[in-house]
Structure 1
Amino acid sequence: MNVIPRYSVSKVAHFLKTLVVLGILLDAVVMGVETDPRLRSSFSSLLEGLDIFCMVLFCVECTARVIVKAHRFSAQNICNTVLLLLSVIARADSSYWLFRIFRALRILRVVFYIPGLQYLVLILRQGVKAAAYVIIMLFFILFVFAIAGVEYFRHIDPENWGNLRAALISTLSVFTISGWVDHNTRLTGFGSVHHQAFFFIAIIIGNFIFLNMFLGLVMEASKHMKIEKKEEAKRKRKIKEQEEEELQLQTSAKYFHQLRLKYEQCEDEFIEPTELCTTLTWIDLHETSVKRQKEEMKKLKQLSDQTLRIQQELLEMELQEKRHLKRFREVRAVGAVGFTAMKFLKRKQHN
């Protein structure tokens, strides 16, 4: 009786979740179209209506989530609520560019509704935790190379190495091997080997060592997450099996009780069973319990035989140790007698 309501609730929840995801994707399309002034002026009313529809949908979903899960102050609910409030403020007053950015950030709410994206975010979070010291060390090395770049190339390329801010950006582009060719081309014509050694050492340390180390830690975190996920799924499966077994036992007991009441209330039977042991159902249950008891007794007998065998082996080992100890004492006694006799003979010869 309880299976149908649960199935209906899960089906409705899945439908609402799908509807919210489609609303987020529609909102992303609307915001993308609004970036083009020509399309924005041509379809202004349609875009306005779609934006209002998405906003109402998100507000209804957020309100329902707060009502249903009011006792759970999870990070997902808090983040969803904050992003929605900021987007509402941005719609009411679009003069602040920061609010407009938060309106665009609400597209990231799709992460909370797709399990694969949630798993990816968890992997990145675990990887960043594991690689925190690597990131700190990489920042210090980036700072050192930026200062060295300012000292070496300030007069040669002041646009990219004239101050510390520009040097940090240029050094980061060298570390990621995305712009080191352009920097090298600008500095090649001056005939100095400093810049070649600088780029070589920066690429080796920044890219081949630290960035690859960070990627390795992220992959290791992903591996641990997969192992933990498998263990958690195994635990949930085990708990579900135990619940199903308990449900079967409760159902069989309830069925047995109803069957016994039916037999007791039946007037057409020649024998009206009032005792529990006179029913056929009880006999079936008794046979099942007897079979289980036999199996348990068989297992207990096997365990008893194994215990006796182990005890016998331990006793034999103890007897062997005693024999070896006795032989060792006999040999030591004989050696002591021989040593005493030799001393006595030496003294006699000396005298």
Structure 2
Amino acid sequence: MAQKENQKQTGIKALCHTIAHNPYFKNFIIAMIILNAIVIGMETYPALYQPFKTGFYLIEKIFIIIFTIEIIIRITGSRPSWEFFRDGWNLFDFFIVASSLALAGGHFVSVLRILRILRVLRTISIIPSLQRMISALLATIPAMGNIAFLLGLLFYVFSVMGTIFFGHISPEYFGSIHITLLTLFQVVTLESWASGVMRPLLEESPWAWLYFVTFILMGTFIIINLFIGVIVNNMQEAQTEAEECKRQLETQALRQEIAELRVLILALGQNRAPGSSENS
């Protein structure tokens, strides 16, 4: 009896494992996540939400049931079950579903539910080129930290200078350090910095152009380009590593095929040896 029960549990676990790793199942869940996000967006329009409030409530319950069944299938299909909780994305999904069940009917849960759309980012692993891009971006974090620190020093120095030079002329842009920092952020993006910020200052400070041109040359054309250079360099390195890994896998596959052919040839030779001696 216990053996039959174990076999039954093993069969259910195998079935859940098959369903959880089925591409159609994953595509269906992704479609439900996107549809749920669309429904949540529609709820922000009172003209749509108020007349059909009951319908939206029932649709929300259906989504919660679907996502709960999905989590149960994935946990049951994991081998072993606790392996499910070793993945950060799985923990995120479990937290969202558990919060939906515990806080059903609350308003904050809508914010939590919308975060489930981040699971769509897992499709990045399906496309190798995007996967290499994300790996390259993550690899640039240490180098970006140094460049960001240098950019922060540049912003701070120029914000102090801008506050001292132009604070009394244009307090709405240079009235304090934090206001000047926001203004410099607008300037470094090259968005309306000339007509909106610099030219009004030229009427009282004709030399103000030197301040802005120097900051743009150092901030935009040098430091920002350092960010781009680091990212491009790491992407090239990631692509080179991927190609090298592919060549190694192909070499290993060829070696394995050659070894199998050798074993097959030796086996054929041993089988023919007795027959040739008998014929002689």
Alignment TM-score, normalising by the size of structure 2:
0.73
Q: Which amino acid aligns with 1:111?
A: L
Instruction: After TM superposition, list the pairs within 5 Å mapping 1:170-181 onto structure 2.
Output: 170-181=183-194
Structure 2 gaps, min length 5:
1-13
Q: 1:130 to 1:40 in 2, by over 3 A?
A: same
Match of residue 184, structure 1, among 198, 201, 205: 198
Q: Which amino acid aligns with 1:167?
A: T
For the pair 1:227 / 2:240, whether they are aligned, the reply is: yes
Match of residue 144, structure 1, among 145, 150, 157: 157
- State the partner residue of 1:125: 138
Q: Which amino acid aligns with 2:43?
A: E
Q: Which amino acid aligns with 2:87?
A: S
Q: Which amino acid aligns with 1:226?
A: Q
Q: CA deviation at 1:80?
A: 3.6
- State the partner residue of 1:109: 119
Q: CA deviation at 1:210?
A: 0.8
Q: CA deviation at 1:126?
A: 1.7
CA contact (8 A) 1:150 1:163 kept: yes
Distance 1:128 1:286 in 2: 68
- State the partner residue of 1:65: 74
Instruction: After TM superposition, list the pairs within 5 Å mapping 1:1-351 onto structure 2.
Output: 9=18, 13-67=22-76, 68=78, 70-71=82-83, 73-85=86-98, 91-94=104-107, 100-115=110-125, 116=127, 117-181=130-194, 182-188=196-202, 190-240=203-253, 282-283=271-272
Q: CA deviation at 1:214?
A: 0.1
Q: Deviations over 1:82-128 (max 9, x none)?
A: 4555566665532x5xx654443322221013334544432321222
Distance 2:274 2:167 in 1: 92
Q: Which amino acid aligns with 1:40?
A: Y
Query: Which stretch of the first structure deviates more once superposed, 12-21 or 120-129?
Result: 120-129
Q: 1:234 to 1:48 in 2, by over 3 A?
A: farther
CA contact (8 A) 1:65 1:77 kept: no
CA contact (8 A) 2:37 2:117 kept: yes
CA contact (8 A) 1:90 1:103 kept: no
Distance 1:285 1:127 in 2: 65
> Greater RCO between the two (CA within 8 Å, min separation 6)?
2
Distance 1:84 1:11 in 2: 17
What CA RMSD, in Å, does the superposition of the two structures yield over aligned residues?
A: 3.7
Q: Which amino acid aligns with 1:158?
A: P
Q: Which amino acid aligns with 2:201?
A: L
Identity in percent: 22
Q: 1:161 to 1:280 in 2, by over 3 A?
A: closer
Distance 1:234 1:285 in 2: 42
Aligned to 1:191, the other structure's residue is in SS state coil
Q: 1:229 to 1:145 in 2, by over 3 A?
A: same
Q: Which amino acid aligns with 1:106?
A: R
Distance 1:16 1:38 in 2: 34
Q: Deviations over 1:164-201 (max 9, x none)?
A: 2222211111111124132124424x331343122111
Structure 1 gaps, min length 5:
257-278, 288-351
Q: CA deviation at 1:242?
A: 5.6
Distance 1:50 1:171 in 2: 47
Number of aligned pairs? 252
Distance 1:21 1:214 in 2: 33
Distance 1:22 1:193 in 2: 59
Aligned to 1:147, the other structure's residue is in SS state helix
Distance 1:286 1:213 in 2: 74
Aligned to 1:32, the other structure's residue is in SS state helix
